[in-house]
Amino acid sequence: MLVTLKKILQKAHKEGYAVGAFNINNMEICQAIVRAAVAQKAPVILQTSEGAIKYAGIEYLKAIAEAASNEKIPIALHLDHGRDIETVKACIKAGWTGIMYDGSHLPFEENVKNTKKVVQWAHKKGIGVEGELGTIGGAEESIVSRKIIYTNPEAAREFVRRTGVDALAVAIGTSHGAYKFEGAGRLDIHLLKTLKEQLKIPLVLHGASGVPASLVTMAARYGAQLGKPEGVPDDQIAIAVKNGINKINTDTDIRLAFDAAIRKFIAEKPEDFDPRHILSPARELIQQVVEHRMKLFGSDGKA
Ligand code: G3H
Ligand code: 13P
Ligand code: ZN
């Protein structure tokens, strides 16, 4: 069933686990995530980036998520890194149940002003809003690269008080994409503890993909050229959940699983060009990856 971001995160906040937020771009990815959530009896957030909306179209993504919401588990439909105000408004109008407004690239006052406006529009419809303060590193479709600027706890307190956001994305050392660290991947757990103490709302970890070696090896074996990718180790994710993260974003691991499974199928069955045969192993592998992460986040059995 489709529920609000606020509702799904409030329970996680109260009970001390994290809900997985997974990026969808097409039907198969959405099905894999929802099948994993059903298998693990886990609440789940399906999120669409502006790039996904541009690629698939808002109506298609809405229809896919609506079909998914026939399942009995709680599902939120969330805009990921909304920066364009027209897209934010379109998602609110179309029935998204959560909105991230990402003003992290703006000066503090402008971020406050824009986020507050989005909160006012969204709250009128009962939709929760995630804000971002500090900058998470790495690459997204619209951003080539940026340095991590760790979230300042005092600024965060003021940001939350003045904007009324329901959840906050914090920068504690992660980056988007497959190249997060050089050397041991560690998060600033001390900073997370301080933020948790000072903020009484759910905290969100972006750039949280684990970049599992098994997926990298599989993709590379069938021709992917990935260099030396590095993700957030599972033990760091577990510590982050223990110390107050309630929403964890994953996209890169889904992309890696999709890529590895398709490459393998095509290499092993060069005579088969049926898209259903090509995409089925990708859907199955993504489901396995998502189920593993749900258990890691402690959201299994919480639906
Ligand atoms: O935060 C970034 C997500 O991985 C979405 O990436 O903008 O390329 O769809 P995208
Ligand atoms: P990853 O690139 O680590 O999967 O992060 C995705 C994300 O934060 C989407 O908002
Ligand atoms: Zn993100």
**Domain range spanning residue 39?**
5-297
User: From ligand 2's centre to the CA of 252, what distance in Å?
Assistant: 6
Residue 303 belongs to a domain:
no
Ligand 2 near 252 CB (within 6 A): yes
Ligand 2 near 208 CB (within 6 A): yes
Residue 201 sits in a domain of what CATH number?
Answer: 3.20.20.70
Provide the pLDDT for residue 141: 59
Provide the pLDDT for residue 36: 99
Ligand 2 atom nearest 254 alpha carbon: 4
- Please tell me the least confidently modeled range out of 122-131, 181-190, 215-224, 253-262: 181-190
Distance CA 118, CA 24 (A): 23
Shortest-distance Cα residue to atom 10 of ligand 1? 141
User: From ligand 2's centre to the CA of 281, what distance in Å?
Assistant: 23
Provide the pLDDT for residue 8: 98
Mean of all residue pLDDT scores within the chain = 96
Residue 257 belongs to a domain:
yes
- As for how many domains the chain has, the answer is 1
Provide the pLDDT for residue 182: 78
250-283 core/surface letters (b: 16 or more CB in 10 A; e: else)? bbbbbbbbbbbbbbbbeeeeeeeeeeeeebebbb
Using CB distances shorter than 6 Å, the residues near ligand 1 are 23, 49, 51-52, 80-81, 140-141, 176, 251
In eight-state DSSP terms, residue 140 is B
What's the average model confidence in pLDDT over 133-157?
81
Mutating to test ligand 1, I would choose from 33, 140, 176, 254 the residue with most ligand atoms within 8 A of its C-beta, which is: 140
The yes-or-no answer on residue 80 being catalytic is yes
Contact (CB, 8 A) for 279 and 262: yes
Provide the pLDDT for residue 148: 86
Using a cut of 0.95, tell me whether the model's pTM lies above it: yes
Q: At residue 163, does pLDDT exceed 90?
A: yes
In percent, the amount of the chain with pLDDT more than 90 equals 93
In percent, the amount of the chain with pLDDT more than 70 equals 97
Residue 62 belongs to a domain:
yes
What's the average model confidence in pLDDT over 188-213?
97
Closest CA to 257 of 33, 18, 57: 33
Residue 64 belongs to a domain:
yes
CB count within 10 Å of CB 136 equals: 29
Residue 199 corresponds to which amino acid? L
Residue 99 belongs to a domain:
yes
Q: At residue 143, does pLDDT exceed 60?
A: no
What's the average model confidence in pLDDT over 98-111?
97
Q: At residue 162, does pLDDT exceed 70?
A: yes
User: From ligand 1's centre to the CA of 196, what distance in Å?
Assistant: 26
User: From ligand 1's centre to the CA of 182, what distance in Å?
Assistant: 21
Residue 302 belongs to a domain:
no
Q: Which residues contact 59 (CB under 8 A, 6 or more apart)?
A: 94
Distance CA 226, CA 160 (A): 38
Mutating to test ligand 1, I would choose from 26, 80, 250 the residue with most ligand atoms within 8 A of its C-beta, which is: 80
